[in-house]
A = this chain, B = another copy of it.
Amino acid sequence: MGDFIIYNTLSRKKELFKPINPGHVGMYVCGPTVYGEAHLGHSRPAITFDLLFRYLKYLGYKVRYVRNITDVGHLVNDADEGDDKVEGKAKVEELEPMEIVQRYTNSYRRNMLQLNVLPPSIEPSASGHIIEQIETVQQMINSGFAYEVNNSVYFDVEKYASIHSYGILSGRKIEDLYSNTRDLDSQGEKKSGLDFAVWKNATPDHIMRWPSPWGYGFPGWHTECTAMSTKYLGEPFDIHGGGLDLLFPHHEAEIAQGVACFGHSPVNYWVHNNLITINGQKMGKSLGNFINLDQLFAGTHQLLEKAYSPMCIRFFILQAHYRSPLDFSNEALQAAEKGLERLFKAVTMIDGLKISDQSTIDVPGVIEKCDNAMNDDLNSPILIAHLFDGVKMINSVNDGKSTINSIDQAMLKKLYNDYVFDILGLQPDISGAGTENSKVFGQVVDLLLNLRIVAKKNKDWSTSDKIRNSLADLGFIVKDTKDGFEWELKG
């Protein structure tokens, strides 16, 4: 399965990937909190871990990919005193919380389908795993790292930090955390301001609550990922992914909870994607640059000059390395759009290339470079650069400046099928060109252009011009060639 290297946030190093069970990979990724429409910020982790999921499968692994749906217990700013986010919205809209959850879960799934993000193997929801979370909390109490107070249960960070390393993942120092937290005076009923709720008491007016050994309540945000990841993947498991914004406190808390429950670190490889900025700014509702995916695909946000297709967004995100920051701008997206078009055009040309006895291009060299790029910590921008080297070769053969033999042609075809479609997950826009009807309509255009050739032969310039100008008005670009004509329809 090759030598696949991945950067491990825990060790701060690139490491050779070795799964716990040969041939199998368990991967858990933090999914969306479903109390609003999916936005630009959701697209990057979804596409990053879709790339990893697809590449691991390409390498021959059987992957169980678990991505959760947070539909309860996500406390605002990790402030334990805050209301549950989902319920907050439900009260405003006078809806059952699960109705909100359903609406936005459907919307998220629809957007993921548009982005050609494969569904995970299991998509567990927090509200569907309350029993498992109660058991997790009980384990933390049993091991002495969590305590009950007023029907809530808190993780005892001070005690944990006295034995284990709290900050091992994020690199934060417990002393710094203490001084920050004490300033905020947010201790309340907790032993220390650093402690976080793993189970929170809820009064009867709180709709989303369940019975537990500590009375009616709901689980803390960090609890669900510990409970659900280990339920479906065992412990330890191979890969835990998420956005860099989740590094602290969420993932740090998950490690501490895992150690408290199982006596050992719960995850071997921690993988984090970097974040998205828009025109150099952080995304935020107050900044007016908070763009929903539906707005992006329809071009309906004031910052957008036009609509960008899901594939354009996907390609744009893959053109950057997942650990680099990525800035969205109209210019950058339009450049990605052109690049993607060029890539797809070359791919469709492979089948029709003229076959020679000898190749003057180095196909095996390109393949090796592509494999190396992906094996080096999923370096998709380098991969794409090499795929564009291949595009140059394809164009060069097509123009008669280079030659290709049939073996190389077959290898080239496999390369682009594997990387463009299967691994990068790019797919041509099928709204027009791909359908059966469009094929017929394309033949109508051919028919018309053949009539124009006849008209020209007959020196019937009026008809010939009329055909050319009318097609141009409709958006067709017609090029006269030696053999007749070529045309394309500008999108």
List the interface of chain A (C-beta within 8 A of B). 64, 96, 98-99, 102-103, 106, 109, 119-125, 127-131, 135, 210-211, 232, 431-433, 435-438, 440-445, 447-448, 451, 454, 463, 466-467, 470-471, 474-475, 489
Known: A102-B119, A102-B122, A467-B447. A135 touches B438 (CB 8 A): no
| Contact among B109, B122, B443 with A96 in the assembled complex (CB-CB below 8 Å) | B122
Task: Tell me whether A440 and B475 are in contact (CB under 8 A).
Answer: yes
> How many angstroms from the CA of A474 to the CA of B106 in the assembled complex?
40
Q: How distant is A70 from chain B, measured CB to nearest CB, in Å?
A: 14
**Most chain B CB atoms below 10 A, which of A96, A444, A445, A447:** A444
The answer to whether B440 and A474 have CB atoms under 8 Å apart is yes
Tell me whether A128 and B131 are in contact in the complex, defined as CB-CB below 8 angstroms, given that A438-B437, A440-B489, A444-B444 are known contacts.
no
Q: For the complex, give the distance between the alpha carbons of A441 and B109 in Å.
A: 33
- Which residue of chain B is the closest to A119 with respect to CB atoms? B106
CA distance A277 to B132 in the complex (A): 43
Closest CB of chain B to A152's CB: distance in Å?
18
Q: Is the CB of A210 within 8 A of B102?
A: no
Bound-state CA distance A432–B123 (Å) is: 34
Taking a contact as CB atoms closer than 8 A, the residue among B64, B99, B447, B454 that contacts A99 in the complex is B64
Contact of A471 among B121, B127, B433, B444 (CB under 8 A): B444
**Please, could you name 18 A-B residue pairs with CB atoms under 8 Å apart, sorted by A?**
A64-B99, A98-B124, A99-B121, A103-B121, A131-B210, A131-B211, A431-B436, A432-B437, A438-B441, A440-B489, A441-B441, A441-B444, A444-B471, A444-B474, A447-B470, A448-B451, A451-B463, A454-B463
Provide the residues of chain B in CB contact with A435, threshold 8 Å.
431-432
Q: Which of chain B's residues have a CB closer than 8 A to the CB of A438?
A: 432, 437-438, 441
Chain B hits for A433, CB < 8 A: 437
In angstroms, how far is the closest chain B Cβ from the Cβ of A20? Answer: 16
Give 19 new A-B contacts, CB below 8 A, not counting A102-B119, A131-B211.
Answer: A64-B96, A96-B121, A98-B122, A102-B120, A102-B123, A103-B121, A130-B130, A431-B435, A431-B436, A432-B435, A432-B436, A432-B437, A438-B441, A440-B489, A444-B474, A447-B467, A447-B471, A451-B467, A454-B463
Q: Evaluate contact between B441 and A232: CB separation under 8 angstroms.
A: no
Whether the pair B448, A232 counts as a contact (CB closer than 8 A) is no
The distance in angstroms between the C-alpha atoms of A184 and B443, with both chains bound, is: 67
A172 CB to closest chain B CB, in angstroms?
Answer: 34
Closest B residue to A128 by beta carbon equals B128
In the assembled complex, the CB of A471 is this many whole angstroms from the nearest CB of chain B, namely 7
Docked pose: A123 CA to B120 CA in angstroms: 18
Q: Which residues of B contact A64 (CB under 8 A)?
A: 96, 99
Cα A121 to Cα B442 with chains together (Å): 43
Q: Which residues of B contact A127 (CB under 8 A)?
A: 128
Given the interface contacts A102-B121, A129-B128, does A135 sit within 8 Å of B211 by beta carbon?
yes
A124 and chain B: residue at smallest CB distance = B98
Inter-subunit contact B437/A489 (CB<8 Å)? yes
Query: Closest Cβ of chain B: how far from A446's Cβ, in Å?
Result: 10
- Bound CA span A128–B128, Å: 3
> What's the minimum C-beta distance from A411 to chain B, rounded to whole angstroms?
32
